[in-house]
Amino acid sequence: MTTPEAVHRPKAVKAGALHRDIGVLDATMLVMGAMIGSGIFITSAESARLVGAPGWLLVAWALAGLMTISGAIASAELAAMMPRAGGQYVFLRVAYGPMFGFLFGWSLFLVVQTGTIAAVAVAFAKFLGVFWPAISADAQPLFRPVILGHYAVSLSTQQLVAVALIVILTITNTRGLKLGTLIQNTFTFAKTAALAALIAIGLTLGWSEKAAAWTSSWWNSTANGWTSLSAYEGHLPVEGGPALIILLGLAMIGPLFSQSAWNNVTFTGGETRDPGRTLPRALFLGTTSVVALYLLANVAYLVSLPFAEIQHAPQDRVGTAAMEAALGPGARYAMAAAILVSTFGCVNGLVLAGARVFYAMARDGLFFKSAGTTNSHHVPAVALAAQGMWAALLALPVTVTTDQATQAVKYGNLYNDLLEYIIPVDVSFYTLMVAAVIALRIKAPFLKRPYRTVAYPLPALIYIALAVLLVVDFIYLKPKTSGIGLLIVLAGIPVYLIWQRISDREGLRRGPKVQPDAC
């Protein structure tokens, strides 16, 4: 019987081991902290514009939540079975071969993890500007932007703060896992409390008879003035209900990525105590808690704001609009403070977890060799530094547009473009991870499984079905950006072949075949 590639490395290359210091609380906070960023306060505006009715808005969030929970329940089996640094990278390498693991790590380093770190850090700086106006993307750049077509390299005060945040949290996480998890736990508790407060205030003090819940048709989008032409700038082959179903997939993108990054806890599998119990519990508790909070937050928006105000909230800040409706204009400062806490904790969680993937890749000879070492605090400091430097660099490029009326040049956040490029790719890698549960049940039934997926294979099939429909829908609606995303991944294939050849030349050993008692 053909067995998958080894999960464990031979003792000869097992130096620099990580310490298992993460418990259930730490792991759950890591799941929730990586998931809760600024998305819940912003993305409902775009989703509302796409679907045109309160009921469909909640459906978009509920379907994204169903995907998140079903994916986490299924993937928990892999996390418990292979509690190694790198998590999802290891799962893909074992189930499909080293190239798939590398391509995941390649896209993670190139844009997914580092780009998300950069984007959330810029969001932190943006909301810090509410208290300190000098921190702004529109402030005089610290040097003349270098324009390259539709893009430019710039350094505004907003970008400088974002870079400083990335550097500070990267350095902090090199000082040891306990300090990193302490920061994560503290800020996750704080931002969860802030989100709960937003929900409570919206459902009580914000309650309004003019709100969408009472004045808009819940399911008839056209009765609310919705048309497919107003919701989507491109051409759709159908109108009415069928067009709405097509756009529902696009409306799920914001909610889904507001709930993403739950996989980050698997990256720290090599540092988790009793992983067979800890990781499944953390994945379930963390994802269900966040999904419930997100649904309640959207209900709070619907009972406190008219639907048009949700769709057209200034700069899409629906959370701020809801708080101002309940507490008055001064609430914008409270909301900005809550988002500062949320984004700070999110960046810390992403920095902490992401470096473990590049550490694992380096141990396999597929990343810089020095990234596979740990420092005196037993953390992968070199991998953290590499991730931090690239994330800081991704905060510097901006998009360039020209105002047709005034001919003034405007600069925007590049990551909005990059995220669109990688969306179908990222969902595809999640899908491959979930499908690996089924693949390894068939391919390696002898492996020890401390946790088995509840109601197997239903959660995996639910996730795979919804993910495939979502990716197909996105490719149809956004063919150009989807194509660029695919090219980003395919560009990793020659890099993998080159890196593998170099590793083989240096005599780096690949793991042995898995034996029945290997896990």
Tens of pLDDT, residue by residue over 102-148, are: 999 999 999 889 988 998 898 898 889 888 888 876 666 677 778 87
Closest to 511 in 3D by CA, of 10, 81, 97, 94: 10
Alpha carbons 511 and 98: distance in angstroms, whole number: 11
How does residue 11 score in pLDDT terms, banded at 50, 70 and 90?
A: very low
Question: At residue 248, does pLDDT exceed 70?
Answer: yes
pLDDT at 514 over 50: no
What lies within 8 Å, CB to CB, of 179 at 6+ separation is: 172, 173
Please state the rounded mean pLDDT for residues 173-197.
91
Instruction: Kindly report, residue by residue over 252-272, the tens digit of the pLDDT.
Output: 988 988 888 899 999 988 889
Of residues 331 and 299, more confidently modeled: 299
Q: Compute the distance between CA of residue 295 and CA of residue 86 in angstroms, rounded to an integer.
A: 31
CA-CA distance, 318 to 310, in Å (whole number)?
A: 6
Asked if 319 and 222 touch (Cβ cutoff 8 Å), the reply is no
Residue with tokens 């208290």: 131
Residue for token pair 């499908």: 435
More confident residue, 503 or 135: 135
Cα dihedral value 429, 430, 431, 432, nearest 10:
50
Please report which residue ranges of 129-176 form alpha helices under DSSP H.
157-173
Torsion of CA 107, 111, 114, 115, to 10 degrees: -150
- Would the pLDDT of 304 be above 50? yes
Among the residue ranges 79-88, 315-324, 395-404, the one predicted with the least confidence is: 395-404
Average pLDDT of the residues of the chain: 86
Domains of the chain: 20-505 (1.20.1740.10)
Mean pLDDT calculated for residue range 71-88: 93
pLDDT at position 515 is 38
Spell out the residues 6+ positions from residue 328 whose beta carbon is closer than 8 angstroms to its own. Answer: none
CA–CA distance, 301 with 298 (Å, rounded to integer)? 5
Average pLDDT value for residue range 67-76: 95
pLDDT in tens, 375-404: 998 999 999 999 999 999 988 888 777 766
Joined together, the tokens standing for residue 287 give 């994802």
* pLDDT for res 512: 39
Predicted local confidence at residue 294, as pLDDT: 96
Give yes or no for a contact between 75 and 434, defined as CB atoms under 8 angstroms apart. yes
For the chain, state the CA radius of gyration. 23
- Distance between CA atoms of residues 53 and 223, nearest Å: 9
Question: What average pLDDT does this structure show over 320-341?
Answer: 90
Q: Tokens in use for 48? A: 């509302």
